[in-house]
Structure 1
Amino acid sequence: MNDLLITGLLVLSLFLILGSGVWIGLTLSGVAWIGMQLFTSRPAGDAMAVTIWGSASSWTLTALPLFVWMGEILFRTRLSQDMFKGLAPWMQSLPGRLLHTNVVGCAIFAAVSGSSAATCATIGRMTLPELKKRGYPDDIVIGTLAGAGTLGLLIPPSIIMIVYGVAADVSIAKLFIAGVLPGVLLAVLFSGYIALWALRHPSLVPPADKSMSFMDKLRESRALIPVILLIAAVLGSIYSGIATATEAAAVGVVGSLVLSAAQGSLNWQTFRDSLMGATRLYCMIALILAGAAFLTLSMGYIGLPRHLAEWIASLGLTQFQLICSLMVFFIILGCFLDGISMVVLTMGVIMPTVIAAGIDPLWFGIFVVFVVEMAQITPPVGFNLFVLQGMTGRQLPYIARVTLPMFILMVAAVLLIYFFPGIVTWMPQNMKL
């Protein structure tokens, strides 16, 4: 009963402070300070200073601003136009034709971005006008783009994976490798849905562009060479063991600057805009992580995570029931919080329960990325929905409705990785890091 009262007071404090418009990072620190001051003997000010400094000075976290900066640089290049030019000839013979450029384009850009919103915005800027001009229906174009944009979180490098790795003390390099096959699985599910939709509605699929020979297709695909080389440099350096995630992020930044300069889109204005955009985004993330670290410490001193883990253990839930419960919990949480806040708010409380249930923290990290992806397309705080609303002018309920099939496919993917965990664990177990 005492734990329930303390939890109720802290949750009430959290929503009151958030509702007053205070930044999330400062809100987390405030709630942590209240909990430590009222319910523990540890001086709150001293604990806050030590914890926030330790969180902010973490070397592991250095990869985060570098990957964010890399995505910002690429966002300002001609990459999107070149990608469509290179991909389109190969999609013409598939059921659904150029609709697959949404999925394949997002999968490719995800491998050099790490951000769902950046992936959705960049590929949307490429495909939306082209597909509209050719007469593809808005429903399927917007729905598949919203869903495929979430691949930015799952296909490495991923900002959420870095945040989870830091919060749960799991190897970021192994998380990156573990995300490859689930990312491919989800992309295949999305493309499979497009193919089935096209076979059921053949009259809604515009005719193919003029046919091209194999050599002509190869010539058009030259536009993909720079981004493929960048992906190979970033991910290859991690998977081969040559570089850590942080060092690979630095390689990515240098590579993206070179790519931008080669395309003629690197000037002082784009360099400054990319640097300031990355700085603003990282400062927001760093503040949230620092506040969450202090909140985790405060909860530990109060004993809430241990008591929660003991309570859940007493319910006698099977692993499957626990995973289903957590999926529903995260989906509901995703209606009100962004993905990073969800991860840092909950990991300190949930991880003891997950480990006690015998769930592999590496597998659980990919599960968390999946449910955070779902949150990207659930109203009212689905970031991908906001991005598409700004790009298309459509209302949020409409975008959420046409994205629903993608949400269902994500639930199916979670069930697949649960019943076939090797999809997640096979690559990390068989690659030397």
Structure 2
Amino acid sequence: MDPLVLGAVVAAFTILVLFSGVSVAAGLLIVSAGFLIVFDGFGSMELLPELFFGKLDNFALLSIPMFIIMGAAISSTRAGADLYEALERWLTRVPGGLVVSNLGACALFAAMSGSSPATCAAIGKMGIPEMRKRGYPDGVAAGSIAAGGTLGILIPPSVTMIVYGISTETSIGRLFLAGVVPGLLLVALFMAWSIFDTWRQGAGDTALGRVRYSWAQKFEVLPRVLPFIAIILGVLYALYGGVATPSETAAVGALLCVLVAVIIYRLYNPAALWAVLRDSTRESVMILFIIGAAGVFSYMLSSLFVTQAIAEWIGALDVNRWTLMIAINLFLLVAGFFLPPVAVILMSAPILLPIVVSAGFDPYWFAVILTINMEIGLITPPVGLNLYVINGIAPDISLKTILKGSMPFVFCMVLAIVILSVFPGLVTGLPNVIMGPAIQ
């Protein structure tokens, strides 16, 4: 069978299996085992355990559970509420200040946790009821938090960036730096739209009158926020100052976050600490299971010459490189509608990266573009994880309303992709300044 036709058959079966309701990792293993048995015989099954665990034999993978523990420790405290309250007090005079405060809190919390659902839940529990109480439309309140939560997979430290770095053998430290400016760009675009939309509708604080805080009240809340910001800065310094590797830095960050949660937020209860470790272990095992299964899936595609055929076919296309990039973006966008970011990265990045690099694009720039596409998938159906998280927080707000409120932020993300395509230096500039030009 022609490898391209076989690739189409593999893709169709993969979609059918994943839509059957099985987990992503189990689905990838089922498809991989099935096609290997059909084309290589049962003897190929002897390789599966070695392939699966070989993919997990990577010291850099230790950073994933450590960063997840950071996020879980922070999520188990009032850190999200404190971030929200601090920014709300300082930005109360800005038109649409409450929405801007929530987006700023999402950005900071995302930097601490690296998790989109955790960011949505932590900030949304406080922010959505408060915005609705102040007269903001339900769509604005819910959509802004859903969009702000997506920043968790772009602003460092980001678990998805770690997964991309491992699957493509690119520098994790450079990937983290590459996400900083685009992350801030998205925050700025989100805030600009929120201010304009609130002013246009005459909603929220502009209609009901803003709550005023004294300087004492503004400074009162800062001590509860500064330790976490110090941890972020400390982690970044350790990583880029040559003090520690990403895995070692993640371990120190996790320990510091747990200590802050215990000392400042009095998380003394053993049951609460156990919940942090339990939830972190569950999420870590899920991600690592997908990584191992994706390794088997990649081997299957390679052994059947599907990967090589796709790369050769795309490379032979006589099209402008930007036409190629638009096609890749559309593919990633559709894939993100149905699959979680980690699965899309593990399945597509090793295939797409050589094609992207041969077309003259920077691999770290592509990582950011890919991640923004995955962010769009988090707030668009049918999967749209953040939409369901918000619906769980505010069940009386319909999914249709949440989706409608999120759509302007989807256009902000598309605009960000266009801006980063016109000015790629926004992605590559900071890594090149701090770490020197990348060796292609």
- Spell out, residue by residue over 1:159-215, the C-alpha distance to the aligned partner (whole angstroms, 9 max, x if none): 1101111111111111011111100000000011111112222354331112423x5
Superposed, 1:299-310 pairs within 5 Å as 299-310=301-312
Which of 284, 287, 290 in structure 2 is aligned with 1:288?
290
Matched, 1:179 2:182: no
For 1:62, the aligned partner's letter is: L
Report the secondary structure of 1:150's partner residue.
helix
Matched, 1:84 2:87: no
For 2:219, the aligned partner's letter is: L
Contact kept in structure 1, 2:72 and 2:280, CA below 8 Å: yes
- Spell out, residue by residue over 1:277-325, the C-alpha distance to the aligned partner (whole angstroms, 9 max, x if none): 1111111111111111111112112221221122112222222212211
Shift of 1:120: 1.1
> Structure 1's 426 and 266: CA in aligned 2 closer, same or farther, altered over 3 A?
farther
Superposed, 1:204-353 pairs within 5 Å as 204=204, 205=206, 206-213=208-215, 216-262=217-263, 263-353=265-355
For 2:137, the aligned partner's letter is: P
Shift of 1:8: 3.2
In structure 1, what is the equivalent of residue 399 of structure 2? Answer: 396
Q: Within 2, Cα distance between the matches of 1:169 and 1:203?
A: 48
Shift of 1:80: 1.9
Shift of 1:4: 3.5
Q: Which moved more, 1:267-276 or 1:301-310?
A: 301-310
Shift of 1:241: 2.0
For 1:431, the aligned partner's letter is: I
Report the secondary structure of 1:243's partner residue.
coil
Unaligned runs of 5+ in 2: none
Q: Within 1, Cα distance between the matches of 2:18 and 2:199?
A: 47
In structure 2, what is the equivalent of residue 364 of structure 1? Answer: 366
Shift of 1:63: 0.4
Q: Within 2, Cα distance between the matches of 1:307 and 1:41?
A: 22
In structure 2, what is the equivalent of residue 150 of structure 1? Answer: 150
In structure 1, what is the equivalent of residue 26 of structure 2? Answer: 26
> Structure 1's 42 and 184: CA in aligned 2 closer, same or farther, altered over 3 A?
farther
In structure 1, what is the equivalent of residue 193 of structure 2? Answer: 193
Contact kept in structure 1, 2:64 and 2:162, CA below 8 Å: yes
> Structure 1's 314 and 250: CA in aligned 2 closer, same or farther, altered over 3 A?
same
> Structure 1's 289 and 202: CA in aligned 2 closer, same or farther, altered over 3 A?
same
Contact kept in structure 2, 1:163 and 1:340, CA below 8 Å: yes
Matched, 1:412 2:439: no
Shift of 1:386: 0.9
Shift of 1:369: 0.8
For 2:367, the aligned partner's letter is: G
> Structure 1's 417 and 270: CA in aligned 2 closer, same or farther, altered over 3 A?
same
Unaligned runs of 5+ in 1: none
Which of 415, 422, 427 in structure 1 is aligned with 2:425?
422
- Spell out, residue by residue over 1:71-99, the C-alpha distance to the aligned partner (whole angstroms, 9 max, x if none): 11111112122222321121112121111
Q: CA RMSD for the aligned pairs?
A: 1.8
TM-score, scaled to structure 1: 0.95
Contact kept in structure 1, 2:136 and 2:203, CA below 8 Å: no
For 1:350, the aligned partner's letter is: L
Q: Within 1, Cα distance between the matches of 2:268 and 2:174?
A: 33
Q: Within 2, Cα distance between the matches of 1:293 and 1:284?
A: 14
> Structure 1's 292 and 97: CA in aligned 2 closer, same or farther, altered over 3 A?
same
In structure 1, what is the equivalent of residue 58 of structure 2? Answer: 58
Q: Within 1, Cα distance between the matches of 2:141 and 2:21?
A: 35
Contact kept in structure 2, 1:73 and 1:274, CA below 8 Å: yes
Q: Which moved more, 1:409-418 or 1:354-363?
A: 354-363
For 1:201, the aligned partner's letter is: Q
For 1:237, the aligned partner's letter is: A
Q: Within 1, Cα distance between the matches of 2:85 and 2:96?
A: 17
Alignment size in residue pairs = 432
- Spell out, residue by residue over 1:18-67, the C-alpha distance to the aligned partner (whole angstroms, 9 max, x if none): 34433221221222223333335894223312211111221111100111
Contact kept in structure 1, 2:64 and 2:159, CA below 8 Å: yes
For 1:288, the aligned partner's letter is: I
In structure 1, what is the equivalent of residue 381 of structure 2? Answer: 379
In structure 1, what is the equivalent of residue 122 of structure 2? Answer: 122
Q: Within 2, Cα distance between the matches of 1:45 and 1:298?
A: 11
